[in-house]
Amino acid sequence: VAEPISEPADCDPLNKLPCGPPEQEKKLKKTNSWKMVRFQDPSTEEDVVERDSSAEILFPEYAVEEWTCAQFEELFAAEDWENITEDQLLRKKILESGDEQVPRSTWGQEVTVKMQGVLEDRTVVEKDCKLVFVIGEGDVIQALEECVMSMQKGEITLLLADSQYAYGLLGREPDIPAWAPLLYQLQLLDIRDKPDPETLPIADRIRVGNQKRERGNFHFQREEYSLAARAYYVALEVLTTHSQDGNDVGMKEEEEEVREYRVKCLNNLATAQLRLEQFDEALHTSRDVLTLQPNNVKALFRTGKLLSDKGEYKEAMEVLKQALKLEPTTKAIHAELSKLVKRQSGGKDTQQWRVKPAKVLGDDITPFLIPSKKKSSGLSWKFILGALVVALGSLVTSVIMTARN
């Protein structure tokens, strides 16, 4: 998939203004470590059938009535369930107590859980024997984050989550409908501090950082821009080659790979910031991209546009010229330059940016400023009309005087 000028969408054609979802990765290899809730669509129907058929494997000894057949409405009203939140839309029922000697998990810690989730018709939609996530980083739905902070290590519980704490209005295609509550069997296996990214091997940093970025893309496509921005920030914290002593630890190829992924993540973050109308932050993020890749056309276009909107016309013109030199056929750049020229002229149509063919532009991308049509020199039509009226009046007067004589 080609990378056009976008903010930052790989799927947009080159001649459109940037407006699409974040760019997706083509070559990223997913591994089984650092797992996240599977928000990706199942690849085939056979996969779904296989997951459904193994629904009882994770907790065979806890096939209680609430898990197998009870209506969710009854469970939300049941007196033997504990409310996790004050709105009573997130509830749990302990099936097996955990170790009370171990402190509960807190915000920012990393946990490992065994879980499976079902719809009200008991269709299995989520399942993982060893799910690892950091509380508060948006790796999973809010229901799981809130629940694990209320659990002891080793505890097994039923978790009932209203759609507000799950996948909400949009659901999750193709298996979770809109406004669908979910029921989970959940066991907290381990609690530990989040590892310092600077202690991880570069390969692990790349893998973890891209998982965070993918989660940001997931939120962006759902128009959850604040959550998307948070995921991109976390990804950028991981995507680094620095060690604890401040030195770079990666090989040259690894450093280049990390730089490439940082650029993608920064472009995505700038897009989310624009959707949140955080224009100064988006400009700063775009400049960070240009620090890593001075010829990144997406960042050049976005920077020029934001500078133009701020009234910094001279710098905006230089940046957009550079973008046009790299992509001379992109209509979005021509349109923005035309708008910039009009702003520089105070809104008067005295100059006009005209789109020129790429062959004409060549390497010289100095704006073609075509003067507007000037008024033709010579006598004004008002002056000529007035002269004709005077001449006609003189003629009429002469005729009348002759007739009287």
CATH number at residue 152: 3.10.50.40
In this structure, is residue 83 part of a structural domain?
yes
Only one residue has tokens 């979770």, namely 176
The residue among 179 and 344 whose pLDDT is bigger is: 179
In this structure, is residue 64 part of a structural domain?
yes
Is the pLDDT assigned to residue 290 strictly greater than 60?
A: yes
In this structure, is residue 84 part of a structural domain?
yes
Is the pLDDT assigned to residue 58 strictly greater than 80?
A: yes
Is the pLDDT assigned to residue 25 strictly greater than 50?
A: no
The residue among 340 and 405 whose pLDDT is bigger is: 340
In this structure, is residue 223 part of a structural domain?
no
| Neighbouring C-alpha atoms within 13 Å toward the C-beta of 247 | 3
CB 140 within 8 A of CB 211: no
CB 258 within 8 A of CB 241: yes
The residue among 168 and 7 whose pLDDT is bigger is: 168
Q: pTM for the whole thing? A: 0.72
Only one residue has tokens 């770079």, namely 248
Quick one: pLDDT at residue 399?
A: 78
**pLDDT tens string 374-390:** 444 455 667 777 778 77
In this structure, is residue 398 part of a structural domain?
no
DSSP 199: G
Distance of CA 190 to the CA centre of its chain: 31
Quick one: pLDDT at residue 379?
A: 54
Across all residues in the chain, what is the average pLDDT? 81
Largest interatomic CA distance in the chain? 133
The residue among 252 and 179 whose pLDDT is bigger is: 179
Q: What is the mean pLDDT of residues 130-151?
A: 96
Residues 6+ away with beta carbon under 8 Å from 203: 254
**pLDDT tens string 318-365:** 999 999 999 999 999 999 999 999 988 875 443 444 444 444 344 444
Burial class of residue 359 in the structure, from the number of CB atoms within 10 Å of its CB (0-12 exposed, 13-18 middle, 19+ buried): exposed
Domain that holds residue 182: 58-194
Q: Each residue of 48-66: b (16+ CB within 10 Å) or e?
A: beebeeebeebbeebeeeb
Distance CA 283, CA 102 (A): 46
How many folded domains does the chain comprise? 1
Only one residue has tokens 């991308």, namely 365
In this structure, is residue 28 part of a structural domain?
no
DSSP string covering 141-188, please?
-HHHHHHHTT--BT-EEEEEE-GGGTTTTT-BTTTB-TT--EEEEEEE
Q: What is the mean pLDDT of residues 278-287?
A: 97
Q: Which residues pair with 190 in a beta bridge?
A: 112
Is the pLDDT assigned to residue 152 strictly greater than 60?
A: yes
Tell me which residue of 11, 24, 6 sits closest to 274, measured CA to CA: 6
Single-letter amino acid, residue 120 = E
Is the pLDDT assigned to residue 95 strictly greater than 90?
A: yes
Tell me which residue of 85, 77, 81, 67 sits closest to 183, measured CA to CA: 67
Residues 6+ away with beta carbon under 8 Å from 141: 37, 161, 165, 166, 167
The residue among 145 and 61 whose pLDDT is bigger is: 145
Is the pLDDT assigned to residue 6 strictly greater than 60?
A: no
In this structure, is residue 243 part of a structural domain?
no
**pLDDT tens string 198-244:** 889 999 999 999 999 999 999 999 999 999 999 999 999 999 987 76
% of the chain beyond a pLDDT of 70: 75
In this structure, is residue 321 part of a structural domain?
no
